[in-house]
Homo-oligomer: A and B are copies of this chain.
Amino acid sequence: MKELLEHLQAYILISEEEFKQIETYFECFEVKKKQDINSFKNISNYNFFVVKGCLNMYFINDKGENQSVQFAIENWWISDLLSLHRNKKSVFFIQAVENCKILSISKKNQEKLLIEFPKIERYFRIIYQVALGASLYRIKFLYQASKAERYFHFIKHHPEFAQRIPQYLIASFLGLTPEYVSEIRAKNFS
């Protein structure tokens, strides 16, 4: 679990002794590519930390297609936070894009952990604050950018995602069709 320790230490002071207790609140598991880890219409009971691999959070739209809303790679947290917070059924699936190593913490364990180690509140406050700030930039971008700009901005500014996530999933995440992305790529690189 050294990846989680290092990530915590980037924000707060945690000794290795403290971490020995902290890690007991987590479970480590592996998922194969294409496997779902969070099912739509179940209440989300876990928060997930990606140690290795890539996860895709999506819903199924009216046309029956999977529509991505978020990806998570190494050192990212992912879950349906509203479902987790309000004990309501989730509206999202979370699926492995690659074979993954994941740490999960149940809602109950996360609450116990935060009571025993209140300084971890700071860690989550900072990462949620930054993610929330970024989500407003994303909404600005969705309103502002042309379809082609959405794609080329994403591959330029998020190469760590663009290089490993299949093109049809990037298209979905950006609200584009795979055919459209193929077309603008062909035009741009020809």
A residues engaging B (CB < 8 A)? 57, 59, 61-62, 67, 69-70, 80-85, 91-92, 114, 118-119, 121-122, 124-126, 128-140, 142-144, 175
The interface residues of chain A, by DSSP majority, are classed as helix
Partner of A136, one of B92, B119, B126: B92
Copies of this chain, tallied across the complex: 2
- Contact yes or no, A143 B82, CB < 8 A: no
How many whole Å from A151's CB to the nearest CB in chain B? 15
Q: Which chain B positions have C-beta within 8 A of A81? A: 129-130, 132-133, 136
- Contact yes or no, A137 B82, CB < 8 A: yes
Given known contacts A61-B144, A69-B140, A128-B125, A84 and B118 CB-to-CB distance under 8 angstroms: no
- Contact yes or no, B133 A69, CB < 8 A: no
- Contact yes or no, A138 B136, CB < 8 A: no
In chain B, what residue has the closest Cβ to A119?
B118
In the assembly, what is the distance between CA of A131 and CA of B131, in Å?
10
Query: Lowest 5 CB-CB distances: which A-B pairs, in order?
Result: A81-B133, A82-B133, A135-B135, A128-B128, A125-B125
In the assembly, what is the distance between CA of A161 and CA of B185, in Å?
42
How many whole Å from A157's CB to the nearest CB in chain B? 14
Q: List 25 contacting pairs A-B, 8 Å CB cutoff, sorted by A.
A: A59-B144, A62-B144, A67-B143, A69-B139, A69-B140, A69-B143, A81-B133, A82-B130, A82-B133, A82-B136, A82-B137, A83-B133, A85-B126, A85-B129, A85-B130, A91-B140, A92-B136, A118-B121, A119-B121, A121-B122, A122-B125, A124-B125, A135-B135, A135-B139, A139-B142
